[in-house]
Structure 1
Amino acid sequence: LIQHILFNFTLWNKSNFHVRLLHLQYILKVIKEEKNFDRDKFGIQFFLDILKQHFNTTKGDKEEQRELREIIYEIIKYFFQNHTSMKDLNALLSTISVLSVLNDEITYELLEFIVGLLNPTSTFHEQIIDFLCESNMIEGLYSLLVVNNLSSRTKEIILKIMKCFIG
């Protein structure tokens, strides 16, 4: 039932903005409160796929779209805070790579999300840096610098992330 209704974003995306906002807020609440939540099925990769499929559009109000994405980022952050894995970070970087040629704004937001994960006050700061220092991760970030349609603002945040490896 949960999979067919609550996590059916094709269905929910037909609703107006306020219903969609409440839907995402409810999902966040369920994830935080439900101890037996199926993170394997509805985890970081699932929400990154939802982001690519349903929130990578120029249709509709840009501010409303950004607000909806912010809740998805909050869900993903909650997952990272409770369990950080190389697989999840790799999924995040893969999504950034795919979106980098399609949507500069979402690419920037996801890179900004990584900067938030790298905040020295976070409990998993060192683990994120260790994962990002793996060769395929650094190469993935570096390759974003040569993507032609990314703004200088987005490329600056990539350099900001890479600076964390040095300092």
Structure 2
Amino acid sequence: MKYIKLISTIVFLALMVTPSFANDNEDEDETVKIVYQCDFADPKRVHLMLNTLNNAVKYYNKKMIDFEIDIVALGPCLQYVMKDFKGTGFVRKPYINHGGPTGAGTASRIQGLKQLGGDNIKMFACNNTMKKKNVKPEQISDYVEITPAGIIKTVDLQRDGYAYIKIK
């Protein structure tokens, strides 16, 4: 009789504890995921995008929150992730190396963001835009991955749970 009560108690406790373990996998990845679509040339918008990204990275670092921020450069925004413009449909603009809030241009600010965010920041260049503008892979900055189609990369990241952000 003692054994039946003991086994009944163990089974009852096991049933009570099991549901809490079952819910643990629902939030298996609490990483904040953000995708920025950059498809514009306006340096003011790019600086605004970099400001918001810097703010987000500082916040998540301070709060020790895991994050992944991906920036997809397509169309005219591709110029911001290029290191060589020779023979392409793009011309190096002065604002890439000078100007903006820090005076150092967008290239320096992007590098600073990469340093601040580390491996949590990824940048992608649209291969469709590269083909259209005659940009070779070696003309893209070393920290940038090439993706076949920027818009498809953006959609795929959203489908993987990334929040979509676009600066207007």
Pick the TM interval, shorter chain: 0.3 to 0.5
Task: Give TM-score, length-normalised by structure 1.
Answer: 0.34
Greater fraction of residues in helix:
1
Task: Give TM-score, length-normalised by structure 2.
Answer: 0.34
Greater fraction of residues in strand:
2
Which structure has the higher relative contact order (CA within 8 Å, separation 6+)?
A: 2
Higher-Rg member (1/2): 2
